[in-house]
Amino acid sequence: MPFNLPWGIGRPLRASWQQSSRWWWLLLAMIACLPFLPGLSGGFLFDDKPNIVQNFGVQIAGIDHYSLWAAAKSFPGGPGLRPLSMLSFALDFWLFGLDPVAFKLTNLLVHAITCIALTGLVRRLLLLANCSQRDARLYAFGLAVAWGTHALQVSSVLYVVQRMQTMSTLFVVLAMSAYVQARQAQIDGAAQHKFWLRVLLFWGLALACKEDAVLLPGFTLLIELTLLHFRAKVTPVGAMLQRGYLLLVVAGVSFFLGIVLPHFWVESSYPGRDFNTLERLLTQGRVLAVYVRQVVWPAPDGLPFYYDNLLPSRGLLDPVSTTWSIVLHFGLILWALLWRRVRPLFALGILLFYAGHSITSNVVGLELAFEHRNHFPLFGLLLAIGDLLHAFMERLSLRPWIAVAVCLLILAGNAAATGMRAYIWGNPLRLALHGTVVAPESIRAWSALCRANYDLSQGRPESPYFQAAIKACAEGGRLPGAATMLANMVILKTLNGTVNQSDWNALIVALQSVAMNVENSSIAINLVRNALRNPDFDEGNVLRVVAIVSGRKELPAEDFLEFGHYALMSKSRDNLAYVYLFKGLRSDSVASERKVRILEEVRRLGHSGMAHRLEVELKLDRRRQ
């Protein structure tokens, strides 16, 4: 209202409203951050290490063009991808070094800003649904609090590398908000160009953080289908919007069916996985059902973080929960479509949840489940739940103070669960122990417990933590396919002098049948590197492991060069050394100058004949190619 009054009257009201908004934003930021504070001391985890701790590209010494360019291109999953996220890690390192608390505080800042941005988007969506200004502001604040303090957010905010996801969500929310503003201006016949420019800017920034921001047009289409209905001040503009989105849908479906599906579809298992495309799609029904349960009931014991023990669905009835889960999802989507005009916010929320999972729950051979995939879809489901809760309270004709008390109770319980989970995340050993309790069949949970105890032992075999690390490896090694745990047990027991042949045999038997994923295929090189540092490792068993892994998996040339070097240093292993060195040297990924240096090193170690033979065979191999 004050914006429609004459300037002299409206200015103080506008100033009052803006000042009040700032206080609301500050309060929201504080509420959103508070539950996560107990988890700031948790250290770096898992993918943090290759992306940050071991990534020298982000460890810049100064702010210059070369350093920033190198940092932007340093994403291990593909050079040049996610440049904005990688730059943010580089700036954190430049300012604070490898201090995980500083990195997590930056994550928390991104989280707080996203909560504030979310209030703007939700308020605009509520206004489109004919909610009053006052109620829209209040409901938007409540929904932002629910989203910001949800326990599912712990693994996005306190897991540093997931800044890629959280920053992408921030810019997607800003782009959606700008889209609603542009469309509203279009409907009102007002200037709209600046809003469209913001949409493009924020979408570009989101894509520079993570690729799944490509879903933005799908999200805006859902807003059109539920709230805007392609309205425009001029009828041809609305028709043009419909045709534009229709062409976009046709192009997207054609791209998926013609390129994505044939490229990713596999009848056998994905490389390094124990499931194929159809089994992955079936399993996603159960995974999405788990996500729905976690959103509705976010108790810490139901949020394990480790999901590697999730068994794939082999058919609609294997397990039977596969069918029931698929029925649940089709039922929710049908419900949303039927209520598209009756309760558009509910419909939008349900559809946003499933749209947000349309890449990660599709044919790409990703891991079956990860909590951070809910970072944006969580907003959709909470929007739907909030709208249902509002309808339920209206139906009961509850007094306002009772309705407010119920909502505050729900929000308080939600925040308490998040605080409890953040406390668990605040200590690596505590997090690892919790993982083995709530996910006892998870190899990664036991591996994390082994690592946490080993770190506390500081590598000293006489430390009780060192013995606890061995015990954790032994416990995890009993699980099917736990070759990594058996390898860790062999390494630790070798270091304290208690390893025996039965330990080696258990590892060798496991390696003959486990899926050769990234973790299992790295066992050989890890063993060799430990053996090069410590002569107590049994070279015969080490080379048996190398033979099994290299025979089942195509390994990098660097691995073969290290295998060859180890065999060269071993007794009477010249034939193996030659085989491995040849496999490494024949690769184009090894520079010519380095090949020359390696051959010189072979001669220096007293193997001139082998060096000459390698030179001859490499020349013949080049001619054959």
pLDDT tens, position by position, 125-167: 999 999 999 899 999 999 999 999 999 999 999 999 999 999 9
Mean pLDDT of the chain: 92
Q: Which residue has the tokens 């709208």?
A: 387
**Chain segment 480-501, per-residue pLDDT in tens:** 989 999 999 999 999 999 999 9
Q: How many Cα neighbours within 13 Å face the side chain of 529? A: 9
- Poorest-pLDDT segment among 208-212, 252-256, 551-555: 551-555
**pLDDT tens per residue, range 245-262:** 999 999 999 999 999 999
Q: What is the pLDDT of residue 310?
A: 94
Instruction: Kindly state the average pLDDT of the residues 434-463.
Output: 95
Confidence of residue 621 (pLDDT cuts 50, 70, 90): confident
* Number of other CB atoms surrounding residue 83 within 10 Å: 19
* pLDDT surpassing 90 at residue 185: yes
Rounded CA separation 584/578 (Å) = 10
Burial of 551 (0-12, 13-18, 19+ CB in 10 A): exposed
Query: What pLDDT was estimated at residue 414?
Result: 94
Q: What is the pLDDT of residue 155?
A: 95
pLDDT(10) > 60: no
Evaluate if residue 17 carries a pLDDT over 70.
no
Q: Of 553 and 292, which is predicted with more confidence? A: 292
What is the pLDDT, as a whole number, of residue 572? Answer: 67
Region 306-317: mean pLDDT is 95
- Residue 233's contacts (CB-CB under 8 Å, 6 or more residues apart) are 186, 187, 188, 189
Q: What does the radius of gyration of the chain's CA atoms come to, in whole angstroms?
A: 28
pLDDT, position 625: 65
Render pLDDT for 406-444 as a digit per residue (tens, 0 to 9). 999 999 999 999 999 999 999 999 999 999 999 999 999
Residues 451-471 have a mean pLDDT of 96
Q: Which residues contact 1 (CB under 8 A, 6 or more apart)?
A: 13, 133
Higher-pLDDT residue of 93, 573: 93
As a whole number of angstroms, the distance between CA 588 and CA 592 comes to 8
What mean pLDDT comes out for the span 527-534? 94
In this structure, are residues 566 and 531 in contact, taking their beta carbons and an 8 Å threshold? yes
Looking at 158-192, list the stretches that DSSP marks H as alpha helix, in order from N- to C-terminal side: 163-188
pLDDT tens digits for range 25-43? 899 999 999 999 999 998 9
**In this predicted structure, what is the pLDDT of residue 24?**
85
pLDDT digit string (tens) for 359-407? Answer: 999 999 999 999 999 999 999 999 999 999 999 988 888 888 888 899 9
pLDDT at 163: 98
Please state the rounded mean pLDDT for residues 60-70: 94
Note the pLDDT of residue 11: 44
Q: Which residue has tokens 């810049």?
A: 60
- DSSP string for 417-486: HHHHHHHHHTSHHHHHHHHHHH-TT-HHHHHHHHHHHHHHHTT-TTSHHHHHHHHHHHHHHTSTT-HHHH
The CB-side HSE value for 380 (13 A sphere, CA atoms) comes to: 27
Q: Residue 311: its pLDDT value, please?
A: 94
Whether residue 421 contacts residue 303, with contact meaning beta carbons closer than 8 Å, is answered with: yes
Q: Is the pLDDT of residue 322 over 60?
A: yes
Question: Given this model, what pLDDT does residue 619 score?
Answer: 85
Cβ 541 vs Cβ 577: under 8 Å: no
Q: How confident is the model at residue 20 (pLDDT cuts 50, 70, 90)?
A: low
The pLDDT value recorded for residue 8 is: 35
Amino acid letter, residue 197 = L
* Residue 397: predicted pLDDT: 85
Contacts of 337 (CB under 8 A, 6+ apart): 347
Which range has the top average pLDDT, 69-73, 231-235, 614-618? 69-73
Pick the residue with more confidence: 200 or 620?
A: 200
Residue 319, class by beta-carbon neighbours within 10 Å (0-12 exposed, 13-18 middle, 19+ buried)?
middle
Asked whether the predicted pLDDT for residue 13 surpasses 60, the reply is no
Please give the pLDDT value at position 399.
Answer: 85
pLDDT of residue 18 exceeding 70, the answer is no
Ranges 64-73, 359-368, 588-597: which has the least confidence: 588-597
Q: Which residues pair with 305 in a beta bridge?
A: none
pLDDT above 70 coverage of the chain, percent: 96
C-alpha angle with apex 617: 615 to 623, nearest 5 degrees?
A: 105
Asked if the model's pLDDT at residue 4 lies above 60, the reply is no
Contact yes or no for 549/512 (Cβ under 8 A): no
